[in-house]
Structure formats: structure tokens, C-alpha cells
Amino acid sequence: MVGLSVLEKVEVFKGLSDERLATIQKYVEEIDYQKGDKLFTEGDDALHLWVVIDGEVDLRFELPVGRPTTKKNTVGARKSRKTVSRVLGWSCFVKPYKMRLSAYCASRRCTVIRIKKQDLLSICEQDSRLGFLVMRLMVEVVGYRFQQFQDIVARTMGEDILSGW
């Protein structure tokens, strides 16, 4: 079973009481992967919230049929840190509830936890304060990721403009 000390480091569970973390803990599944293993595929139904608790996971877009995805197709990476465990798969809360990218284990090994979307929603419905806290933190995560994406686009466009001179 995943310990409360692990859950309290998850971006969207930071600051929750031990009682609330214990409620979530009942629904958490821990999974280990090896380098190159695929966690989920772009276009899959988004049924879980994923969290990287150890190692690194690359987020990649898939290439047309028959062409393997590579590190070149990586648009983001999520690493666990001693103080923060990174969330993946927040698409499970946003229509059309499909994974927008594929996820691959990028380190020698990685450990993730996942929680079924329906279980987390049920917990949040039973404890509306918990739901508010989790969704508030989820919005912060999404906002930060959007800011990171904007920075990448601006940097890429700037490099394209400069190299065109």
C-alpha cells in the first residue's frame, strides 16, 4: 500500500490532512515500469489520474501508423523530486476525456501511482471540501503546465525568427 508520506508529496494532494489522504489512499494503485515501457497512449480513454513518484516519464505525441515514436517526439517530461510528485493524465477531468499524449518511462525504471477518475470524483463528491482543495490544486498544475507550454512556443518561435535572418 502506498504510504501517506508518498501521497502528501503529490502536487494535487499537498496540504491535505492525514484523514483525507487516508481516504484517497484506499483507491491508489502503484505500478512499476522499465525504461521504454508505455504507460498510456495518445487517444486512449482518460480513465485515471497518474502520478510519477519515482523516476522520469516522457510525454510524447505519436507518429503516423508504422513509425515508432522517439525521444525527438517528447514534448514534456515529468520527474519526481524529493518534495513533489508530478501529476499526469489530468485529461480525465476535461472533455473529450482522451489522453492528449503518450507517456513512456524515460529513466532506468519509474514508479507511478494511479487513481481511477471515478473513484476520485466519488471521494470529492462525498467530501466537498476535499474536492474543492484537490480541484484548486489541479487548476494550479494545469495553469503552470500551460505557462511552460507558452515558454516553449515563444522560445521556438524566437529561434525560428533569429535563424531566418
For 64-110, write each residue's pLDDT tens digit: 666 556 565 556 665 656 667 788 898 999 999 999 888 999 999 99
Environment class of residue 60 by beta-carbon count within 10 Å: exposed (0-12), middle (13-18) or buried (19+)?
A: buried
CB 13 within 8 A of CB 24: yes
Beta bridge partners of 109: 34
Cα gap 57→86, rounded to integer Å: 10
On whether the 4-163 domain is CATH 2.60.120.10, my answer is yes
Environment class of residue 46 by beta-carbon count within 10 Å: exposed (0-12), middle (13-18) or buried (19+)?
A: buried
Question: In terms of Cα–Cα distance, which of 39, 38, 9, 8 is closest to 22?
Answer: 8
The residue with greater pLDDT, 53 or 63, is 53
- The pLDDT of residue 161: 66
Unique residue bearing C-alpha cell 515508432: 68
Question: In terms of Cα–Cα distance, which of 92, 19, 24 is closest to 10?
Answer: 24
Domain range list for the chain: 4-163
- The pLDDT of residue 1: 87
Give the DSSP letter of residue 102.
E
Q: How confident is the model at residue 123 (pLDDT cuts 50, 70, 90)?
A: very high
The residue with greater pLDDT, 141 or 63, is 141
CB 88 within 8 A of CB 51: yes
